[in-house]
Structure 1
Amino acid sequence: MTVSSTLCAPDAVALQQEKSLLQGDVLISTTPVSAGAAVTATMYVPMMRSQTWQQLTDYSKWVQYFPDIVQSQVLEAKHQTKTHPATRRLYQVARKAFMMFSAQVEIYLQVIETLHQSIQFRFERGTFSDFAADLTLEDYGAGTLITYSVKATPLIPVPSFLIEQAIRYDLPGNMKTMRRVMCAA
């Protein structure tokens, strides 16, 4: 009886993804939603998780990570207690030109931080009908794997496939910029 070599061999897709991540690629996946878009980006950062965390939770730096964000300001901060995670209220303004369309959006977010593990961004109000983002960190080799999932539905009537395409196009470059800025600090 022979055993198929595909059953015994390591998962070729996983090995290729790992190689891509370690070479600096950003892996993108999309999830269908009824309106708007949901996109997940994953990248490797050659920094310890604690260092990565410090960079990511300096929200004023997000204007350097994401070129469309022109303002990022913490309005309120509550420190972690034994029973509650650290939370912040964040205000961000972004400007985006897409084809012949130009828009400015603003958003107020509730930010929930689980130390060195995850950051949840939850919509309070702004120029979206819905917005949520989750950023997770995990040890990966000698560095950190960052996974950033974004779900957004703007108030302006734009077909969801266009929103998804815009996010799929912008997010890898933004994530690479984030890594470059974080590693230069």
Structure 2
Amino acid sequence: MNDWNIAGTLTVLPAVERPDLMAEPVAGALESVKAPVGIAEIDPDLADTAAFCEAYSSPLEASANCVVVAGKRAGELRYAAALVLATTRADVNNVIRKRMDVRKVSFAPMDEAVELTGMAYGGITPVGLPADWPILVDSAVAQAPELVIGSGIRGSKLLVTGEALAALPGAQVVDGLAK
């Protein structure tokens, strides 16, 4: 198991030992991550990135956020996930829109994102997303040696390498995805 330099004050265990700390789709897809994955239980009220980093002494630049976006093309609704460092913002209107080949793209409504992913809002993660969704991974995320990401619930966080995230099924590493 990894020593996880970014763990701060978290107690990190191998994720495979605590499937109860993940949303069902995440636990079910854990084998798709071709590297060690850590998991740490947290206070669900501190799941939002800034509060989490402050409370657990985990560096903000080592956190990555996953957003669900939706767009239409010829009447077909398309979804994708974008993974960017917490210190950046996803370029939704240019890079993501072009990658999805849609006229207009926006963040998926909260209830829709929760229903489609089987994950809690504020805990959505690229592990365990619907198989037909592209996962757009910013190149800075792919290059990160260690990252904290959601676990599908607000009561825990996953620790993983950027390389492992870039290797997820459906993942596409995109230069300039984040601003």
When normalised by structure 2's length, the TM-score is: 0.31
In our comparison, the structure showing a higher alpha carbon Rg is 1
Greater RCO between the two (CA within 8 Å, min separation 6)?
A: 2
Is the strand fraction higher in 1 or 2?
1
When normalised by structure 1's length, the TM-score is: 0.30
